Structure 1
Amino acid sequence: MTNWIEISTGYSGKLGKSAATKGRWQPYLFLGITTNLVFWLLAFCYLQFTSPTYTSKSAINLPGAGSNANVNLPGIGQASYENSSPYSYSSTQDPRENYKFIAGSEPVLKVASAQLNMSLEEFGKPRIKVLDNTTIIEVQFQGKSPEEAQNKSVAFYKALEARLNELRIQEALKKDLGIQTSLNSSKRKLQTAQKRLSNYKASSGLNSEEQIKELTTNIEELRRQKAEILAQQQQANTRLQQLSANLKLSAQQATQAFVLQSDQIFQHNLKDYSEASASLAVLESKFLPDHPQIIAEKDKRDMALKALLERGKYLLKEPVTLAFLNQLNLSSNNNGNTAQESLFQQVVTVQADQKGLTSQAHALEKQITQLETRLKNLAQQESNLDALKRDMQVAEAVFSTTLTRLDIGKSNAFGSYPFMQIVNEPSLPVEPSYPKKEYVYIGATVGSILLTSGIFLLSLRARHQQKE
Structure 2
Amino acid sequence: MTNEYPPISPSALAASIDRGRRLRYVALALAANLSIWGIVLFLLKDSPREYTSQWSIMVLGKVPKSASDEGSGSTGATSAASEAGNFKASYKLIATTDSVRKAAAAKVGMTTEQFSQPQVQVLPGTELMTFTITGSTRQEAQKKAYALHEAFQERLNQLRIQQAEEQEAGFENTLSVARKKLESAQFRLSDYKVRAGLASKDQIDELARSIETLRRSRAEVAAQQRDASIRARQLATDLNMSSSLASEAFTLRTDPLFQQYLREYSEATASLANVSIKLGPNHPVVVGETARQSAAQAALLERAEALLGRAVDLAAIARLNTGSGSQTATPREDLFKQIVNYNVERQALAARVQEIDRQIYQLEQRLNILAQRNSTLDALNRDMQIAEAIFSSKLAGLDASSVPIFNSYPPIQMVADPTLPEKRCNSQTKTLFYLCHNCLFVDNCRALTPLSTQNTAL
Shorter-chain TM range is 0.5 to 0.7
| Contact 2:138-2:422 within 8 A present in 1 as well | yes
Alignment of 1:69-218 (within 5 A): 91=79, 94-105=82-93, 108-110=96-98, 115=104, 123=117, 125-131=119-125, 136-139=127-130, 141=132, 154=146, 157-182=149-174, 184-185=176-177, 188-189=180-181, 192-207=184-199
Query: Which of 39, 56, 59 in structure 2 is aligned with 1:61?
Result: 59
Q: Letter of the aligned partner of 2:188 in structure 1? A: R
Within the candidate set 338, 352, 372, 1:346 is matched to 338
Q: For residue 58 of structure 1, report the CA deviation from its aligned partner.
A: 2.1
Structure 1 residue 348 displacement after superposition: 1.6
| Alpha-carbon shift at residue 146 of structure 1 (Å) | 8.4
How many pairs were matched up? 358
Identity of aligned residues (%): 32
User: Which secondary structure state, in structure 1, belongs to the residue aligned with residue 56 of structure 2?
Assistant: strand
Q: Which amino acid aligns with 2:191?
A: N
- What letter corresponds to residue 88 of structure 2 in structure 1? K
Alpha-carbon distance between aligned partners in 1 of 2:290 and 2:51, rounded to the nearest angstrom: 164
Alpha-carbon separation, structure 2, partners of 1:377 and 1:307:
63
In structure 2, relative to structure 1, the CA distance for the partners of 1:96 and 1:190 (3 Å cut) is same
Q: In structure 2, do the counterparts of structure 1 residues 280 and 332 end up closer, same or farther at CA, with 3 Å as the change threshold?
A: farther
Alpha-carbon distance in structure 2 between the residues aligned to 1:188 and 1:258? 77
The letter of the residue matching 1:176 is: E
Instruction: Give the corresponding residue for 2:348.
Output: 356
Letter in 2 for 1:130: P
The TM-score with structure 1 as length reference comes to: 0.53
Q: Do the aligned residues in 1 keep the contact of 2:249 with 2:322 (CA within 8 Å)?
A: no
Q: Which residue of 2 aligns with 1:254?
A: 246
Task: State the Cα RMSD in Å.
Answer: 6.0
Find the aligned partners of 2:149 and 2:363 in 1 and give their Cα distance.
79
Contact 2:246 / 2:320 at 8 angstroms: preserved in 1?
no
Q: Corresponding residue for 2:440?
A: none
Q: Distance in 2 between matches of 1:415 and 1:387?
A: 45
Letter in 2 for 1:330: N
Partners of 1:56 and 1:142 within 8 A in 2:
yes
Give secondary structure in 1 for the equivalent of 2:123. Answer: strand
The answer to whether 1:335 aligns with 2:323 is: no
Q: Any conservation in 2 of the 1:270–1:308 contact (CA below 8 Å)? A: no
Question: Does the residue aligned with 1:344 lie in a helix, a strand or coil?
Answer: helix
Q: SS of the counterpart of 1:164? A: helix
Distance 1:232 1:431, change over 3 A: farther
Aligned to 1:168, what secondary structure does the other structure show?
A: helix
Give the aligned residue type for 1:335. Answer: S
* TM-score (normalised: structure 2): 0.54
Amino acid at match of 1:61: V
Q: Conserved in 2, the CA contact under 8 Å of 1:223 and 1:368? A: yes
C-alpha distance in structure 2 between counterparts of 1:200 and 1:90, whole Å? 60
Post-superposition shift, 1:347? 2.1
Contact (CA 8 Å) 1:190, 1:399: kept in 2 or not? Answer: yes
Q: What runs of 5+ residues in structure 2 fail to find an aligned partner?
A: 1-43, 66-74, 426-458
* Contact 1:125 1:141 (C-alpha < 8 Å) held by counterparts: yes
Is the contact made by 1:60 and 1:424 (CA closer than 8 Å) also made in structure 2? no
